Amino acid sequence: MSNSDIEEQLSELYGFIVSTSTISIVTDKISTNIIAWQNGPLESTYLVVWMDAIVFKVRENSRVVNRAIYLTVALREDGLKEVLGMWLVKNESSAFWMSVLTDLKTRGVDDILITVTDNLNGFTDTISNVIPNSDRQICVVHQIRNSARYVVWKDKMEFAKDLRYIYTAPN
């Protein structure tokens, strides 16, 4: 977004005016922090790392297009969650996930005990290539969505209710 776009958004959403020069100063300071965060060191081991892409509609050159934000969220050994990174690209692919995982390795990640993904075609192999000892698991939400594809619409609610007994079972 340009500074004038940000100025317009602030005015529309919050009802106050901020000059474009103030916005420029703030974004310059934030940009430095964002770059430091994007390139900062990570812990060597994470218990669980969730990896998925979220598709958003974005205005680009006066057109609205889809863009994917790759997101990695980790469960640390102290029990806290940490966002490891976000990457904006045109669409989701296992090839780009390879670069994400390589980036995480470069920033210090040696081991992930469990990776949770949407089972994108080729994703499991990509994880195995970069972090071979990690156990891989398909996200429960994605498993439910994939299973529900084969159920007729009128039975989906009952199916989802029955499926809940399975994925909330203690063992």
Instruction: Give tens-digit pLDDT for 17-63.
Output: 888 889 889 988 898 898 999 999 999 999 999 998 888 887 778 88
Burial of 60 (0-12, 13-18, 19+ CB in 10 A): exposed
Q: Would you say residue 165 lies in a domain?
A: no
| Structure-block tokens of residue 154 | 């009128």
Domain count, the chain: 2
Token digits of residue 15? 């009802």
d(Cα 77, Cα 110) in Å, to the nearest integer?
14
**pLDDT for the residue numbered 48:** 95
Q: Do 128 and 98 fall into the same domain?
A: yes
Residue 102 has pLDDT above 80, yes or no: yes
CATH number at residue 91: 3.30.420.10
Q: Does 21 reside within a domain? A: yes
**168 found inside a domain:** no
- 63 Cβ neighbours under 8 A, 6+ residues apart: none
What's the pLDDT tens digit per position in 78-98?
Answer: 999 999 999 888 777 778 888
Residue 134 corresponds to which tokens in the numbers above?
């990690």
| Separation between Cα atoms, residue 139 and residue 118, nearest integer Å | 6
34 & 62 share domain: no
Q: Does 151 reside within a domain?
A: no
Per-residue pLDDT of 132-144, as tens digits, reads: 888 888 777 777 7
Residue-number span of the structural domain to which 17 is assigned: 3-39
* Whether residue 96 sits in one domain with residue 35: no
Residues 65 and 108 in one domain: yes
Local structure of 90: helix, strand or coil: coil
Q: What is the arithmetic mean of pLDDT over 138-151?
A: 79
* pLDDT score recorded for residue 144: 78
Average pLDDT over residues 95-124: 89
Task: Please compute the mean of the pLDDT values over residues 55-75 and round it to a whole number.
Answer: 87
| Residues β-bridged to residue 63 | 60
